[in-house]
Structure 1
């Protein structure tokens, strides 16, 4: 059901983020045995859901003729038997490509339709995808089961404008920088202008070849003080998962969905 209340910047007000820690299957769980080679395919997402996952992570691009596809790269070449840039290909060409030579590239609408109880974390990869993403979410009544993220502040701003705050969004790069480095009193004064309800970040970001630690106890404390969550990607090692959960992060994005499930089960935190 679409949100009709005033948009809020606090995670607790969004059903999508209920009951952390969240376990998110990255591209369906790309490094888990049954899914090796078929990342971001409907088969991979179904397998993760079959394992018990309520959240899957994917990416979206738009084809030359306006079809919104769930696919990570901007070209078909790395993971399919097809070739070419998605933004320059019609859907009739993309639909014939096979991931690992066996699985079709899904449209985003298929994920909403085929996985009706699953929540989707969506990385907005291309500038032209914001409008078709919003229109697809709206037409399927899926506002409460999608969270939209992007490495582009501009793409996020466009999606937020189109959706009118009815869909949860992650913090953009500028918001993350503020939350990581600005003094807490400054952040509190700016809270209403920070619409992202979750920081979805790597533990360490390499800036010009220099590693910069993003996830720290201070960042988690600041985010929580503002009612926001912290989700870390892409975490595949059990010891790292345990350490980050002990730090208080609210979600982990992983290719090793089997390992993440085992860690959360051992901690009594598997939902």
Structure 2
């Protein structure tokens, strides 16, 4: 990992994980990773337009959410209900994919008229499989939003051989554990709230490595800076994670000053809704773009 001038040598976990391109020799070795949260385009979150824009800006990692339609299709969508960002209504799980495919994302956030990647019309919803095929060099950080998602996720990833470029996560650790039994090959995972709570609360008492490996069985932790009034991402927490071989990815950070501060204390990745801001910070640190099309 490259630190800001005067910050010295950053610590970094040495355990290689195929999904984490900064964990093994290559273009991104030891570089902090940049994640486009829901495509990092609030006007059209979790859509192809957002994904294309993020990749064009230089993002290699897309953070997405998936839910299951009533006919068993895995749809990229965050909310349980459709009202906030589409012209539909009701729970997504009560609709077939045919019905969902006719809806359009109509966020209240005004789109940037200077954005030349915008298709000029409201975006349709996207299937998880569709995105995996459309972006073969992109890595997907996938939040499993319902219990049915694990089986559909496993089937798609196994069939497409995408194990090395997906990470599965969920607030509920039980979904990750269930997924491990469904996949033909393991995929990277991050911890749910129970795992992270154990690390935050019991880590200072010792046994952090045992907690992270035996209880959580994860490859990284993806956490907010704080949860309610409890601070999570502090230098000691980052160091404990690194000693256990775990990377630390922080969500959701849009302030460049805060991005720099987090990178200076050694975090391994940042998720953002502001694609340009994070790209600018990474460019200042000479780790941009992160796609293979252009050299670092």
After TM superposition, the score normalised by the length of structure 2 is 0.82
Residue 21 (structure 1) aligned with residue 12 (structure 2): no
Q: List structure 1 runs of 4+ shifted beyond 6 angstroms.
A: none
CA distance 1:123–1:191, change in 2 (3 Å): closer
Find the aligned partners of 2:210 and 2:218 in 1 and give their Cα distance: 15
Find the aligned partners of 2:14 and 2:146 in 1 and give their Cα distance: 26
- Report deviation, 1:30: 2.2
- Report deviation, 1:163: 2.2
- Report deviation, 1:222: 0.6
Give the unaligned 5+ runs of structure 2: 1-12, 23-30, 107-120, 291-296
- Report deviation, 1:155: 1.3
Counterpart residue number, 1:68: 74
- Which stretch of the first structure deviates more once superposed, 250-259 or 15-24? 15-24
- Report deviation, 1:39: 0.6
Higher helix proportion (structure 1 or 2): 1
- Residue of 141, 148, 153 corresponding to 1:133: 153
- Which stretch of the first structure deviates more once superposed, 260-269 or 243-252? 260-269
Give the unaligned 5+ runs of structure 1: 1-9, 32-36
- Which stretch of the first structure deviates more once superposed, 52-61 or 185-194? 185-194
Residue 87 (structure 1) aligned with residue 93 (structure 2): yes
Residue 44 (structure 1) aligned with residue 62 (structure 2): no
SS at match of 1:218: helix
Counterpart residue number, 1:186: 207
Aligned length: 253
Find the aligned partners of 2:32 and 2:244 in 1 and give their Cα distance: 17
Counterpart residue number, 2:174: 154
- Residue of 219, 232, 245 corresponding to 1:197: 219
Cα deviation code 1:206-240 (max 9, x no counterpart): 1xxxx111111111011000000000000000001
CA distance 1:114–1:250, change in 2 (3 Å): same
Contact 1:172–1:196 at 8 Å: present in 2 too? no
Cα deviation code 1:51-88 (max 9, x no counterpart): 11100110000001100001111111110111121111
Residue 269 (structure 1) aligned with residue 287 (structure 2): yes
- Residue of 249, 253, 265 corresponding to 1:247: 265
Counterpart residue number, 1:4: none
CA distance 1:213–1:133, change in 2 (3 Å): same
Residue 234 (structure 1) aligned with residue 252 (structure 2): yes
Contact 1:179–1:222 at 8 Å: present in 2 too? no
SS at match of 1:232: strand
Counterpart residue number, 1:115: 135
Find the aligned partners of 1:58 and 1:72 in 2 and give their Cα distance: 8
SS at match of 2:222: strand
SS at match of 1:200: strand
- Report deviation, 1:162: 1.6
Cα deviation code 1:86-122 (max 9, x no counterpart): 1111111111100127111000001001011100000
Contact 1:191–1:226 at 8 Å: present in 2 too? yes
* RMSD (Å), alpha carbons: 1.6
